[in-house]
Structure 1
Amino acid sequence: MKEAVSKRDKLFQFSSILFPILVTQLGLFSMSFFDTTMSGKVHRDDLAGVAIGSSLWIPVYTGLSGILLSVTPIVAHLIGAKKKKEVPFMVVQGLYVSLFISILIFLLGFFTLDLILNNMGLEEDVIHIAKGYLVALSFGIFPLFLYAVLRCFIDALGLTRVTMFITLTSLPINFILNYMFIFGKFGAPKLGGIGAGIASSITYWCIAGITIFIIFKQAPFKEFGIFKTFYKISFKAWAEILLIGVPIGLSIFFETSIFAAVTLLMGQYNTVTIASHQAAINFASFLYMLPLSISMALTIVVGHEIGAKRMKDAKQYSYLGIGFALFLSILSAALIYFFRPEVASIYTSDPDVLKLTQDFLIYAIFFQLSDAIAAPIQGALRGYKDVNVTFIMALVSYWVIGLPVGFLLATYTPLDAFGYWIGLISGLAAGAIGLSARLAFIQKRKQQELSTN
Structure 2
Amino acid sequence: MNQTFSRKGKIKQLLIILIPILITQLAMFSMNFFDTMMSGHYSSKDLAGVAIGSSLWMPVFTGLSGILLAVTPIVAQSYGGRKREEVAFSVIQGVYLAIIMAIIVLIAGGLALNPILSTMKLETIVHEKAHDYLVALSYGIIPLFIYNVIRSFIDALGKTRVTMLITLLALPINIIFNYLLIFGKLGFPELGGVGAGYATAITYWLITLIAIFIIHKHSSFSTFGIFQKLYFVSLSKWKEILLIGIPIGFAIFFETSIFAAVTLFMSNFNTTTIAAHQAALNFASFLYMIPLSISMALTIVVGFEIGANRYKDAKQYSWIGITIAVIMAFLCGVILFLLRTEVAAIYTKDLEVVQLTAQFLIYAIFFQLSDAIQAPVQGALRGYKDVNITFIMALISYWIIGLPFGYYLANYTSWGAFGYWIGLIVGLAIGAICLISRLIHVQRKNLFMEKKNAV
Deviation of the 1:250 alpha carbon:
0.7
Residue 264 of structure 2 is matched in structure 1 by 264
Deviation of the 1:251 alpha carbon:
0.7
The reply to whether residue 332 of structure 1 matches residue 326 of structure 2 is no
Label 1:12 to 1:140 Cα distance change in 2 as closer, same or farther (>3 A).
Answer: same
Of residues 44-53 and 94-103 in structure 1, the stretch that sits farther from structure 2 once superposed is 44-53
Question: Counterparts of 1:421 and 1:45 in 2: how far apart (Å)?
Answer: 23
The reply to whether residue 322 of structure 1 matches residue 322 of structure 2 is yes
* Letter aligned with residue 16 of structure 1: I
Question: Counterparts of 2:190 and 2:349 in 1: how far apart (Å)?
Answer: 28
State the percentage of identical aligned residues. Answer: 62
The reply to whether residue 47 of structure 1 matches residue 55 of structure 2 is no
SS of the residue corresponding to residue 224 of structure 1 reads: coil
The reply to whether residue 359 of structure 1 matches residue 366 of structure 2 is no
Residue 66 of structure 2 is matched in structure 1 by 66
What aligned pairs does 1:10-159 form with structure 2 within 5 A after superposition? 10-159=10-159
* Letter aligned with residue 299 of structure 1: T
Deviation of the 1:438 alpha carbon:
0.2
Label 1:359 to 1:160 Cα distance change in 2 as closer, same or farther (>3 A).
Answer: same
Contact 2:298 2:376 survives alignment (8 Å): yes
Of residues 431-440 and 251-260 in structure 1, the stretch that sits farther from structure 2 once superposed is 251-260
Residue 413 of structure 1 is matched in structure 2 by 413
* Letter aligned with residue 312 of structure 1: K
Question: Counterparts of 1:414 and 1:110 in 2: how far apart (Å)?
Answer: 39
* Letter aligned with residue 76 of structure 1: A
* Letter aligned with residue 293 of structure 1: S
Residue 198 of structure 1 is matched in structure 2 by 198
SS of the residue corresponding to residue 154 of structure 2 reads: helix
- What is the aligned length? 453
* Letter aligned with residue 175 of structure 1: I
Offset from partner CA, 1:271-323 (integer Å, 9 cap, x none): 55444433332222121111111001000000000000000000000000001
Offset from partner CA, 1:143-200 (integer Å, 9 cap, x none): 1000000000000000100000000000111122223333333443333333222222
Residue 402 of structure 1 is matched in structure 2 by 402
Question: Counterparts of 2:110 and 2:373 in 1: how far apart (Å)?
Answer: 39
How large is the Cα RMSD of the aligned pairs?
1.8
* Letter aligned with residue 225 of structure 2: G
Contact 2:67 2:245 survives alignment (8 Å): yes
Label 1:414 to 1:186 Cα distance change in 2 as closer, same or farther (>3 A).
Answer: closer
Question: Counterparts of 1:232 and 1:78 in 2: how far apart (Å)?
Answer: 20
SS of the residue corresponding to residue 11 of structure 1 reads: helix
Residue 344 of structure 1 is matched in structure 2 by 344
Of residues 310-319 and 283-292 in structure 1, the stretch that sits farther from structure 2 once superposed is 283-292
Deviation of the 1:350 alpha carbon:
5.0
Residue 254 of structure 1 is matched in structure 2 by 254
Label 1:173 to 1:198 Cα distance change in 2 as closer, same or farther (>3 A).
Answer: same
TM-score, with normalisation over the residues of structure 1? 0.95
What aligned pairs does 1:189-338 form with structure 2 within 5 A after superposition? 189-338=189-338
Residue 176 of structure 1 is matched in structure 2 by 176
SS of the residue corresponding to residue 268 of structure 1 reads: coil
Label 1:127 to 1:403 Cα distance change in 2 as closer, same or farther (>3 A).
Answer: closer
Question: Counterparts of 2:382 and 2:247 in 1: how far apart (Å)?
Answer: 10
Question: Counterparts of 1:360 and 1:124 in 2: how far apart (Å)?
Answer: 26
Label 1:189 to 1:274 Cα distance change in 2 as closer, same or farther (>3 A).
Answer: closer
TM-score, with normalisation over the residues of structure 2? 0.95
Label 1:105 to 1:352 Cα distance change in 2 as closer, same or farther (>3 A).
Answer: closer
Of residues 40-49 and 318-327 in structure 1, the stretch that sits farther from structure 2 once superposed is 40-49
SS of the residue corresponding to residue 230 of structure 1 reads: coil
Residue 433 of structure 2 is matched in structure 1 by 433
Question: Counterparts of 2:330 and 2:211 in 1: how far apart (Å)?
Answer: 36
Question: Counterparts of 2:136 and 2:237 in 1: how far apart (Å)?
Answer: 32
Question: Counterparts of 1:252 and 1:338 in 2: how far apart (Å)?
Answer: 30
Label 1:87 to 1:186 Cα distance change in 2 as closer, same or farther (>3 A).
Answer: same
Deviation of the 1:11 alpha carbon:
0.5
Question: Counterparts of 2:66 and 2:392 in 1: how far apart (Å)?
Answer: 15
Question: Counterparts of 1:357 and 1:329 in 2: how far apart (Å)?
Answer: 20
SS of the residue corresponding to residue 78 of structure 1 reads: helix
SS of the residue corresponding to residue 233 of structure 1 reads: coil
Of residues 430-439 and 406-415 in structure 1, the stretch that sits farther from structure 2 once superposed is 406-415
SS of the residue corresponding to residue 385 of structure 1 reads: coil
Label 1:42 to 1:211 Cα distance change in 2 as closer, same or farther (>3 A).
Answer: same
Deviation of the 1:270 alpha carbon:
4.3
Residue 161 of structure 1 is matched in structure 2 by 161
Deviation of the 1:343 alpha carbon:
2.9
Contact 2:121 2:267 survives alignment (8 Å): no
Deviation of the 1:109 alpha carbon:
1.5
SS of the residue corresponding to residue 267 of structure 2 reads: helix
SS of the residue corresponding to residue 173 of structure 2 reads: helix
The reply to whether residue 2 of structure 1 matches residue 36 of structure 2 is no
Question: Counterparts of 2:53 and 2:232 in 1: how far apart (Å)?
Answer: 36
